[in-house]
Amino acid sequence: MKIDSVDFFYLAMPEVTTAADGSQDALVVRVTAGGHVGWGECEAAPLPSIAAFVCPMSHGACRPVADSVLGQTLDGPEDIKRMAAVVAYNSMDLLQAAHTWSGIEMALWDLLGHVRGEPTWKLLGYDKAYPKTPYASVLFGTTAQETLARAKEMRGLGFKAAKFGWAPFGDSLEGDIAHLDAAREGLGADGILLIDAGQIFGEDVDAAALRLDAMERNRVTFFEEPFHGSAYLAYGELSKRTKTVKTAGGEAAHNRHMAEHLIDFGGVGYIQIDCGRIGGLWPAKEVADYAVKRGVTYINHTFTSNLALSASLQPFAGLRDHTICEYPTTLQQLARDITLNHITPNANGEIIIPDAPGLGIQINPKALTQYAVDIEIKVAGKTVFSTPTY
């Protein structure tokens, strides 16, 4: 097969706010080859991601992603890996390229799975997909009382684990301790409690470390992204100061090397990978393999649609002992509407990874028009991109 087309659908809620909520807009990717269709989703600002696909060549190492994808052969997994290497080389100075390619790569695995009638996790080399324990991924409340109520709500919905993140965490030590205590109380003594600081401490190891005693007392499993995603030395120093709490990070990695550095130099106990950022499913699978060798737990990162959720589960589907997974619970309606089918916890509170061909997710055509942002990109008076039709 030859890749015939790559289309981008820029979708957004009527109002996008400054809340740390990645489900307010989306960039859905459609790839066609040999009469077959695959779908993916980029986890990045939609407009620059589209531009990275169609922009004029700046020089030999700064070419548009389209140059390395359109017309390429797609007959098996090795073709996807080959294209990834071509994109990385030809667009090494186009920094948005990794995010743009991530959604395309995801769609290629989905398409190939449909062609072969196999789930993507099997194409990635697994014989079986194991159930995962989802943690409800929610934001902290504006007050400790709101965090308490939110934790009780998640527990009431049947979640055994929950992660609380972002503002107002980091505003004050007293306030953070109150939120940690509230989250533990609401989740119950046996609940799995996870904390995401949203990089609020920059590189300030001492400030982050002040929260460790309260985290230890509240039996927090991991402390996610206290620092900038590439602040490996800061991660490494904090990792040395922890006891039972483990550091976590990796969603900011836009290649497997960044994730491996976080493991080797940052000393994280949990590596969290977003397939919509790191370059797709194959580099995520490589990180999962690396994590196993280093005794680190692999976790998916996703806070958008169920298309992205399914994709994020594929790279560690076959890891029996890596059981916890991120599960967004407070998505905007846009993210819910993108797909016709959804991944939901079963009666045991577990996530069963789809075993249908490809990613096992069906796109909702109505969402592609209902939430569409009309886009036209012109260069020197020539239209190089316009909103595609479904």
Residue 229 lies in a domain: yes
* Whether residue 298 has pLDDT greater than 90: yes
Instruction: Give the DSSP H or E segment for 287.
Output: helix 281-294
Any idea what the CATH number is for the domain that residue 151 is in? 3.20.20.120
pLDDT in tens, 184-238: 999 999 999 999 999 999 999 999 999 999 999 999 999 999 999 999 999 999 9
Any idea what the CATH number is for the domain that residue 70 is in? 3.30.390.10
Residues 103 and 167 in one domain: no
Measured CA to CA, the distance from residue 311 to residue 325 in angstroms comes to 12
* Domain that residue 215 falls in: 123-337
Q: What is the pLDDT of residue 244?
A: 95
Residue 238 lies in a domain: yes
Residue 357 lies in a domain: no
Residue 350 lies in a domain: no
Which of the four pLDDT bands, split at 50, 70 and 90, describes residue 22? confident
Query: 256-264 and 232-241 helices cross at what angle (nearest 10)?
Result: 30
pLDDT in tens, 30-52: 999 999 999 999 999 999 999 99
Averaged pLDDT for residues 289-317? 96
Q: What is the pLDDT of residue 161?
A: 94
Residue 344 lies in a domain: no
Residue 262 lies in a domain: yes
Pairing of strands 133-139, 324-328: parallel
Residues 159 and 16 in one domain: no
Amino acid identity of 361?
A: I
* Whether residue 390 has pLDDT greater than 90: no
Which of the four pLDDT bands, split at 50, 70 and 90, describes residue 104? very high
Question: Do 119 and 150 contact (CB within 8 A), yes or no?
Answer: no
Residues 106 and 129 in one domain: no
Averaged pLDDT for residues 266-284? 97
Residues 253 and 269 in one domain: yes
Residues 89 and 134 in one domain: no
Q: What is the pLDDT of residue 145?
A: 97
Residues 160 and 279 in one domain: yes
Residues 113 and 127 in one domain: no
Q: What is the pLDDT of residue 329?
A: 86
Residues 273 and 301 in one domain: yes
Residues 165 and 69 in one domain: no
Residues 198 and 238 in one domain: yes
Measuring CA to CA, how many Å separate 30 from each of 40, 79, 322? 7, 18, 31
Reported pTM: 0.95
| Residue with token string 């692999």 | 298
pLDDT in tens, 149-182: 999 999 999 999 999 999 899 999 999 999 999 9
Q: What is the pLDDT of residue 357?
A: 98
Averaged pLDDT for residues 379-384? 95
Residues 110 and 21 in one domain: yes
Averaged pLDDT for residues 66-95? 97
* Whether residue 389 has pLDDT greater than 90: no
Residue 45 lies in a domain: yes
Q: What is the pLDDT of residue 186?
A: 96
* Whether residue 19 has pLDDT greater than 90: no
| DSSP conformation letters of 130-169 | --BEEEEEEEPPSSHHHHHHHHHHHHHTT-SEEEEESTTT
Which of the four pLDDT bands, split at 50, 70 and 90, describes residue 20? confident
Residue 347 lies in a domain: no
Residues 132 and 69 in one domain: no
Q: Domains in the chain: how many in total?
A: 2
| DSSP conformation letters of 73-84 | B-SSHHHHHHHH
* Whether residue 134 has pLDDT greater than 90: yes
Nearest Cα to 184, choosing from 157, 225, 150? 150
